[in-house]
Amino acid sequence: MAILLLLLLGEASSEESVLDGASSASSGIAAQDILAQIRSGESLDYNNVTITGELYLGPGDGPIKQSIRITNSRFQGPVRIVGVTFDEFLDLRGCIFQDEVSFIKSRFLGDAKFAGAKFGKQADFAETYFQGPASFISTSFQNDSSFGSAQFDGDAVFLDCSFASDVDFNYAKFLRSGSFLNANFEDVSFFETQFAGQVTFRSAQFKGNATFAATRFESDVLFRAARFWKGSTFGLSSFGGLADYGNVDFNKTAFFGGVKFADLAYFANARFNGDLILEGARLYSMQLDNATFSERSKINLNSTDFSKFVVHWSILQNRMVYNGAAYLALVKNYKSLEWFDEADECYYQYRRIGQDQAPWGWDKLSDIISWLSCGYGVRVSYTAFWCLFTILIFGLIFWAGKGMNKFEIEGMELPGDTRLKPSKRVSFTDALYFSIAMFTTSQAPVNTYPVGVYKHLAMAEGILGWFFLGLFVVVLSAVLIR
């Protein structure tokens, strides 16, 4: 990729030198004279000329066997080249096309050079075949353009290219590398486009809607530092290699529904001002480290199948579109990453949302009990709190209500001696001690006993003690065993 970029930069430099070396004077030539020269088989080599009239070549003109070079020139009339085969190179670098241009169904067997060209009106390259390299470096399309069903057998270079209006590459095939580095798009569509080799959209600007629906990226694709100003659609696309979306800005909804990432999907440091939709996607490995979302952004993982999803729960929390299977898949994912605390946080939120949405009944009541008592099995602190709270509240009740008596033995009297004297009131410390004993063992200390209705409260505390202590052991074991 680095070698390709160096070659592209070298070509761009040479093209700039061509533009700089052009004569300031411009001579006029009729389109009919150009056509006559082409049909005679004579090579063309013009620089800085103005071509007037309509330039038309059709299938009946047969293949053009000579090379054609017309650089830094101006075409005032329409250019219609339909179904024509160019056996040698076509060099139209730096040309200005004031009217419509069409190369529909044409075939370029040599190099096709359009670097620095400006298309003022509609430009149509639909169903065009490029056997050799196709260079559109710094080319400007100021109106609608189309490369629909075009095929690029050689390298396709749209470096620094500008599309000021709608452009479509629907059903196009890029069989080698493609470069849209620093390209500027308005509305663009790559519907069912095939990229067999590496392709880069690094630092590209998508100012309108960007559609990559059902696109096939069979090798690595780079969108790093690109910016999508409006909606971006990658639905049903497939990625066979690395998909690099690092540092990408998504200002609106980023739709990746039904996509297939066979390799790493790298979204580190990406920024989402809208929703991220991955519904029905299949992810081998996706990385969202340090990604940022707006306050209103939602993340849809419904029916998403992923083997490895590297994203901290703090990023997803309160943004997930609720789906039980998605939450449970995330819990499993976090456990496989050994992020156990995040697995607990994810599971806890899953149960809380499910509880809120459930209708009232025994299931919801049991969920509420599970939530309050142990945080659905992942909050051992909840159970510890209830243990301490139960001991304290019962201790206060026994002390404030004088619900227990304590025997004080004077001298060396034996148990059962008639000189045993019951105290009128125990201290709060003794009441707390009594509560701890009832909670942990269900048995009162030997010299203390409850009286009246407090006997039933003591029994209730013993039952709660067995329940909470058992629950505490179970929850703590589940945490420690990991």
Predicted confidence at residue 327, as pLDDT, reads: 93
Q: Report helix, strand or coil for 300.
A: strand
pLDDT tier at 415, thresholds 50, 70, 90: low
**What is this structure's pTM?**
0.80
Rounded-to-integer distance, Cα 235 and Cα 258, Å: 6
Q: Are residues 391 and 334 in the same domain?
A: no
> 406 in a domain, yes or no?
yes
Please say which residue of 354, 389, 421 terminates a domain.
354
Q: Are residues 176 and 294 in the same domain?
A: yes
Predicted confidence at residue 418, as pLDDT, reads: 52
CB 199 within 8 A of CB 221: yes
More confident residue, 118 or 472: 118
Whether the per-residue pLDDT at 23 is higher than 50: the answer is no
> 422 in a domain, yes or no?
yes
Please say which residue of 354, 385, 402 terminates a domain.
354
Point out which residues pair with 245 in neighbouring strands. Answer: none
Whether the per-residue pLDDT at 1 is higher than 80: the answer is no
Q: Are residues 466 and 344 in the same domain?
A: no
Mean pLDDT over residues 256-265, rounded?
Answer: 96
Rounded-to-integer distance, Cα 227 and Cα 238, Å: 21
Whether the per-residue pLDDT at 5 is higher than 90: the answer is no
pLDDT tier at 24, thresholds 50, 70, 90: very low
Structure confidence by residue, pLDDT tens digits, 97-137: 999 999 999 999 999 999 999 999 999 999 999 999 999 99
Mean pLDDT over residues 284-309, rounded?
Answer: 92
442 torsion bin: left (phi>0), alpha (psi -120 to 50), beta (else): left
141 torsion bin: left (phi>0), alpha (psi -120 to 50), beta (else): beta
Rounded-to-integer distance, Cα 362 and Cα 433, Å: 36
Whether the per-residue pLDDT at 226 is higher than 90: the answer is yes
Predicted confidence at residue 289, as pLDDT, reads: 87
Structure confidence by residue, pLDDT tens digits, 165-214: 999 999 999 999 999 999 999 999 999 999 999 999 999 999 999 999 99
Number of domains into which the chain is organized: 2
Q: Are residues 86 and 193 in the same domain?
A: yes
Q: Report helix, strand or coil for 206.
A: strand
Share of the chain above pLDDT 90, in %: 66
> 74 in a domain, yes or no?
no
Domain that holds residue 216: 81-354
> 60 in a domain, yes or no?
no
Q: What is the CATH number of the domain that holds 461?
A: 1.10.287
Q: Are residues 381 and 350 in the same domain?
A: no
CB 195 within 8 A of CB 171: no
Q: Are residues 291 and 416 in the same domain?
A: no
**Token representation of residue 266:** 């790298």
Predicted confidence at residue 454, as pLDDT, reads: 84
78-82, 83-87, 437-441, 445-449, range with the lowest pLDDT: 445-449
Percentages of the chain per state (helix, strand, coil), in multiples of 5: 30, 25, 45
**Token representation of residue 264:** 């790493």
- HSE (CB half, 13 Å, CA atoms) of 393? 11
Q: Are residues 227 and 150 in the same domain?
A: yes
Whether the per-residue pLDDT at 366 is higher than 70: the answer is yes
Rounded-to-integer distance, Cα 482 and Cα 479, Å: 6
Q: Are residues 403 and 328 in the same domain?
A: no
Give the closest residue to 190 by CA, choosing from 158, 160, 155. Answer: 158
> 57 in a domain, yes or no?
no
Edge-to-edge, what's the strand order for the sheet holding 421-422? 421-422, 404-408, 448-450
Q: E strands of 380-445, at which residues?
A: 404-408, 421-422
272-281, 302-311, 343-352, 436-445, range with the lowest pLDDT: 436-445
Point out which residues pair with 61 in neighbouring strands. Answer: none
Mean pLDDT over residues 367-379, rounded?
Answer: 88
Whether the per-residue pLDDT at 64 is higher than 80: the answer is yes
Q: Are residues 264 and 392 in the same domain?
A: no
Whether the per-residue pLDDT at 21 is higher than 80: the answer is no
Q: Are residues 101 and 167 in the same domain?
A: yes
**Token representation of residue 63:** 């293949």
Whether the per-residue pLDDT at 414 is higher than 80: the answer is no
Neighbours of 42 (CB within 10 A): 10
Amino acid identity, position 8: L
pLDDT tier at 369, thresholds 50, 70, 90: confident
> 8 in a domain, yes or no?
no
pLDDT tier at 14, thresholds 50, 70, 90: very low
Predicted confidence at residue 134, as pLDDT, reads: 97
Please say which residue of 354, 369, 395 terminates a domain.
354
Q: Are residues 303 and 449 in the same domain?
A: no
Q: Are residues 193 and 255 in the same domain?
A: yes
Give the closest residue to 195 by CA, choosing from 137, 165, 155. Answer: 155
Helix-then-strand count for the chain, H and E: 9, 49
Q: According to the per-residue pLDDT averaged within each range, which of 13-22, 248-257, 310-319 is highest?
A: 248-257
Amino acid identity, position 290: N
Whether the per-residue pLDDT at 68 is higher than 80: the answer is yes
